[in-house]
Amino acid sequence: MRSDSRLERILTSGRFALTGELGPPRGADADAVRKKARLLAGMVDAVNITDNQTAVVRMSSLGACLIAIQEGLEPVYQMVCRDRNRIAMQSDILGAAALGVQNILCLSGDHQCFGDHPGSKKVFDLDSMQLIDMVRTMRDQARFQGGADITVAPKLFIGAAANPFAEPHAFRVVRLAKKIAAGADFIQTQCVYNMERFESWLAQARDMGLTDKVYILAGVTPLKSLGMARYMQKNVPGMDVPEKLIQRLKGVEKKDQAREGIAICCEQIQQLREMKGLAGIHLMAIEWEHRVPEIVEQAGLLPRPAPEPEQA
Amino acid sequence: MIKATVKPLEEILAMIAPYRRVLTVGCGGCVSLCLAGGMKEARELNSKLRAMQEPGSDAEFADITVERQCEQQFLTPLDERTAGCDAFLSLACGAGVQFLAERFPEKPVFPGVNTQFVGVTKDIGWYEERCKTCGDCILGLTAGICPVTMCAKGLFNGPCGGPQDGHCEVDPDRPCAWIAIYERLQAQGRLETLTTLQGARQWQGQVPGSILLPRYRDRYVKDGDDK
């Protein structure tokens, strides 16, 4: 085991994992985090805590991670390269590990022009690939990026993102391989709506032997409405929402679209579970945490494995 | 070359308002080629500033354009003009403005242009950024396309997951630099370049830069001067 992460134990034991997502609030509102955390507790194996997603300022991922831990959840600490240089990142990584964070997801981060501080200065001292490499070096070699020794290495289970649908398509598995070589232990993908294209990407990863080297969790986001589906299709970069899903939501009354969206989501999870080489699901119910229990139940993902005591 | 644009007239006017005799100093270098700070622009700017004065104003706007404001030898013609002016309005890039201010420390020097970037002339009046002067060029690995400059996130291991129809997620009108890099390397049969992790950069330019060519070193550094 590379870490004390429960997510790592579940994946290593070959069980189908389920991670969720929790977006911190736009204020110093611990209760908002607790409320969301309680909805997710027992429903998922670990919860990604986003890091100022879409470049909109929110409570820090680390702060919300700690509240999640207090609520009995295992957080996946998301860290983006947009806002901090390698000094701040390494410092936060040590702090997070010291406070009980076991998993980290290394991301580039959405450009600040999408958020509410478009005049801020971007950092990108490292990119996501270099961040993965840095965390791995910190953990496995107890060495800072600058070369000095670390007294107590941060034992983190290292995650990375992958978008199977982005261009250039032929390069996507190559980039996945690069992230694995840099040190990624698990992968969470962009939201999957186009099953055929996802399966073909996964097949390529399998053929290259990548699914033996890394745990891949397929990203799934329930569509709350026709409007959301259209928005995802047209406005979210790197997203592939097939027209047939739009038509299916269009075919039901507006008040029933949420239910239909959940039905679609559960069918997708079933389909994904059948795919060889897939290690789990990453369920991103964006500002819809209260619907997670029914989705997880309807998708047949309950009960979740009980938290095990750490092996001595 | 360095590309610049003229500051808004109101901003210039506000800076120079307290001074009666202003000498606008054009630069015949980069800023002249991008039509921001050459002789023609210095004269045009003065005409506009004169036209914006209140009736009865005794403000005087003179102009002079030197070959390059970033070299001391070209600044000597200004020595005899300094007594006749209360402030300089330099149309050079930020480097030129500072060199002028360094030569005449007793006199206020104001910038008349905003220095934008190191770029190319796509066509007359059309300039695009190409270089961030990062001090550690990797264009050899990226098919002659700079990701530090051309990728919105300055990624070294792109492309990210965001490009749409070959364009950057940040600006749908801008081609994704990393897709361009990918395609050009592919055309050159060099795609394997992209399979290697580009490690964390040792960023240069984090303190003011200075270059002293070894063959000129003796001219400026006396024995025992070494730090």
What is the CATH number for A238?
A: 3.20.20.220
Tens of pLDDT, residues B92-111: 999 999 999 999 999 999 99
Tokens 């945490």 correspond to what residue?
A289
* Angle, CA B52 vertex, CA B46 and CA B54 arms, to 5°: 125
Q: Distance (Å, rounded) from C-alpha A164 to C-alpha A176?
A: 9
CB contact under 8 A, A181 and B157: no
Q: What is the pLDDT along chain A (312 residues), one digit of tens a residue?
A: 999 999 999 999 999 999 999 999 999 999 999 999 999 999 999 999 999 999 999 999 999 999 999 999 999 999 999 999 999 999 999 999 999 999 999 999 999 999 999 999 999 999 999 999 999 999 999 999 999 999 999 999 999 999 999 999 999 999 999 999 999 999 999 999 999 999 999 999 999 999 999 999 999 999 999 999 999 999 888 899 999 999 999 999 999 999 999 999 999 999 999 999 999 999 999 989 999 999 999 999 999 998 765 554
* Any domain includes A17: yes
Tens of pLDDT, residues A49-84: 999 999 999 999 999 999 999 999 999 999 999 999
Q: Which two tokens stand for residue B6?
A: 């003229």
Query: For the residues of chain A, what is the DSSP string, one character each?
Result: --S--HHHHHHHTTPPEEEEEEPPPSSS-HHHHHHHHHHHTTT-SEEEE-SSGGG---S-HHHHHHHHHHTT--EEEEEESSS--HHHHHHHHHHHHHTT--EEEEE----GGGSS-TTSPP--SS-HHHHHHHHHHHHHH-B-TTSPBPSS----EEEEEE-TTSSSGGGHHHHHHHHHHHT-SEEEEEEP--HHHHHHHHHHHHHTTGGGTSEEEEEE----SHHHHHHHHHHSTT----HHHHHHHHTS-GGGHHHHHHHHHHHHHHHHHTSTT--EEEE--TT-GGGHHHHHHHTT-PSPPPPPPPP-
Note the CATH number of domain B2-117. Answer: 3.40.50.2300
- Give the nearest partner residue to B194 out of A86, A127, A174, using CB atoms: A174
Phi, psi of A98 (to 5 degrees): -65, -30
Asked if A87 has any chain B CB less than 8 Å from its own CB, the reply is: no
Asked if A163 has any chain B CB less than 8 Å from its own CB, the reply is: yes
Asked if B183 has any chain A CB less than 8 Å from its own CB, the reply is: yes
Asked if B182 has any chain A CB less than 8 Å from its own CB, the reply is: yes
pTM: 0.94
* Any domain includes A308: no
Phi, psi of B102 (to 5 degrees): -70, -35
What is residue A257's predicted lDDT score, i.e. its pLDDT? 96
| Distance between A86 CA and the closest CA of chain B, angstroms | 9
What is residue A236's predicted lDDT score, i.e. its pLDDT? 86
- Across B9-29, average pLDDT: 98
Confidence class for position B224, pLDDT limits 50, 70, 90:
low
What is residue B223's predicted lDDT score, i.e. its pLDDT? 72
* Any domain includes A246: yes
Asked if A86 has any chain B CB less than 8 Å from its own CB, the reply is: yes
Q: List Cβ neighbours of A141 (8 Å cut-off, separation of 6 or more).
A: A153
pLDDT over 90, % of chain B? 95
Chains A, B: CB pairs < 8 Å: 90
* Any domain includes A47: yes
CB contact under 8 A, B176 and A167: yes
* Any domain includes A282: yes
Q: Distance (Å, rounded) from C-alpha A136 to C-alpha A130?
A: 10
Q: Which two tokens stand for residue B126?
A: 């059309």
Average pLDDT over chain B reads 95
Asked if B77 has any chain A CB less than 8 Å from its own CB, the reply is: no
- Across B122-129, average pLDDT: 96
pLDDT over 70, % of chain B? 98
CB contact under 8 A, B161 and A81: no
Q: Which two tokens stand for residue A131?
A: 């961040």
- Give the nearest partner residue to A124 out of B154, B166, B176, using CB atoms: B154
- Per the structure, the complete domain to which residue A100 belongs is given by 6-298
> Which of B226, B3, B4 has the alpha carbon at shortest distance from B113?
B4
- From chain A residues 132-151, the ones with a CB under 8 A of any chain B CB are 133-134, 145
* Any domain includes A188: yes
- CA-nearest residue to B192 within chain A is A174
Tokens 């309005």 correspond to what residue?
B89
* Any domain includes A307: no
Enumerate the domain spans of chain B: 2-117, 133-195
CB contact under 8 A, B164 and A129: no
Beta bridge partners of B2: B118
> Which of B13, B22, B92 has the alpha carbon at shortest distance from B61?
B22
Q: Distance (Å, rounded) from C-alpha B213 to C-alpha B73?
A: 19
The total number of residues written for chain B in this structure: 227
Reply yes or no on whether the pLDDT at B227 is more than 60.
no
CB contact under 8 A, A237 and B152: no
